[in-house]
Amino acid sequence: MHQLKASNQKHIRALSIIVMMSWALCIWVSLLVTSFTTWVYKWRNPKCSGKLPPGSMGLPLLGETISYFKPNTTSDIQPFIKDRIKKYGPIFKTSIVGIPVIVATDPDFSYFVLNQEGQCFKNWYPDTFTKIFGNQNLATLHGFVYKYLKHMILSLFGHESRKKMLPEIEENVCNKLELWSTQNSTELKDSTASLILDLTAKKLMGLNPGKSSENLRDCFASFVDGLISFPINIPGTAYHKCLEGRERAMKMLRDMLQERRENPRENPSDFFDYVIEELKKEGSLLTEEIALDLMFVLIFASFETTSYSLTLAIKFLSDNPLILERLTEEHEAILRNREDANSGLTWKEYKSMTYTFQFINETARLANLAPGIFRKALIDTQYDGYLIPAGWTVVVCPPAIHLNPDIYEDPLVFDPSRWEGSKYTNASKTFMAFGGGMRFCIGTDFSKLQMAVFLHSLVTKYRWEEISGGNICRSPGLQFPNGYHVKLEKKEI
């Protein structure tokens, strides 16, 4: 009897322990669920002292990143942006790679953001971009240092320098086109990138076309593939390859700079010479790190963006015979009006290319090479009843402005004549292909010069036939996944 009573007590104690553990587990699970629910609620409903724009913050930490990077195979606004404009309007909130973001697709709000740098906003890019372009790249610098570097660049690519470079650009273009015409097929994206890099590398580093410039281009080829990709830095990803490309390119640039320091030139003529002279000055704002990051960005901005624009321009000409005919007429008229038929292109002739500049603007409008321009709010800022909290990122979306049917009639139609009589040749509220505000692209006029000279030589001396490729993809930046292959032939004169 005593043993039975003891056994029952043990069972009761065990049952009590089980009940207590069950209650503890229930309380723990309830607290976990409550904490998780509260965390999700706070994530989806950020606390601020005003009214945020409408929108969704997506999943915690991940946000709406996957939808944002989803490839788009049309020239239209990427579905991520287009769908949210329909649902929320031209200003909406979201989260990309864990960063709270307000997307601006309204021209007035976009113009306001870009022109309030140093007051309400500052130029800013995610840490992933900084790792790619460097901690001391032009986009991360502000105030006096930025103006100092801008002046340096303009001394190389300003008005007078461009005039002097015109014959060299034309010679470079003619030589490349002559070479391509001997090939059965030319892949335009890589070939135009090589053309632009040869010229830029010579101006910046004194490099003549050859093995060194080819090696440099190979570094940037792997770099570009992951520039606008999901930022996962593990072997095999596009982003990892991008960082590896940067490391190789930076090593080449550092070695070149060191070699130039050890073997200085008697007559300085390029950017490296200028950098070396500046580094010698006492109290100079320039450091080797800033100089190399600046060089890296200049090489990328000059050859990569221009080559995409040129490739797309030729695709537009192939698809629009009447536009090709009108462009050709303008350039053939330049040749007919010359006193010396064998003379090179003059600055006066270049400035007379009215339809060519319209064509370049229309190409830039539809190319939309910059899917977003980043700014960060310095202070709480009110706009149209909405609050942009301090610390939040604003992404100005030029494609949404360039493809807005309320601004451009039939926005997906390539029509250079829409620019006739327009005073907006570089930047405005409705045209942001080259940036805006004080961060307007410094190399815009240099890029336009290269495109105009290339088009002049191409349409007056050659015809071409499409071989394969030419389809585009945006993820969200412009790409030619299958390249664009053409057969170039000399015209019979």
From first CA to last CA, the distance across the chain in angstroms is 122
Query: Is the CA virtual torsion 162, 168, 170, 172 positive or negative?
Result: negative
Check the annotation: does 441 bind a ligand. yes
Measured CA to CA, the distance from residue 343 to residue 417 in angstroms comes to 30
> HEC profile for the chain?
CHHHHHHHHHHHHHHHHHHHHHHHHHHHHHHHHHHHHHHHHHHHCCCCCCCCCCECCCECCCECHHHHCCCECCCCCCHHHHHHHHHHCCEEEEEECCEEEEEECCHHHHHHHHCCECCCEEECCCHHHHHHHCCCCHHHCCHHHHHHHHHHHHHHHCHHHHHHHHHHHHHHHHHHHHHHCCCCCEEHHHHHHHHHHHHHHHHHHCCCCCHHHHHHHHHHHHHHHCCCCCCCCCCCCHHHHHHHHHHHHHHHHHHHHHHHHHCCCCCCCCHHHHHHHHHHCCCCCCCHHHHHHHHHHHHHHHHHHHHHHHHHHHHHHHHCHHHHHHHHHHHHHHHHCCCCCCCCCCHHHHHCCHHHHHHHHHHHHHHCCCCCEEEEECCCEEECCEEECCCCEEEECHHHHHCCCCCCCCCCCCCHHHHCCCCCCCCECCECCCCCHHHCCCCHHHHHHHHHHHHHHHHHHEEEEEEEECCCEECCCEECCCCEEEEEEECCC
Sheet of strand 186-187, all strands in order from the earlier edge strand to the far edge: 186-187, 484-490, 462-469
Measured CA to CA, the distance from residue 27 to residue 121 in angstroms comes to 46
Task: Count other C-beta atoms under 10 Å from residue 65's C-beta.
Answer: 19
* 434-465 b/e (C-beta count within 10 Å ≥ 16 → b): bbbbebebbbbbbbbbbbbbbbbbbbebbbbe
Q: Do residues 459 and 467 touch, judged by C-beta distance below 8 A?
A: no
Binding-site residue numbers for heme are 441
Q: Binding site: which residues?
A: 441
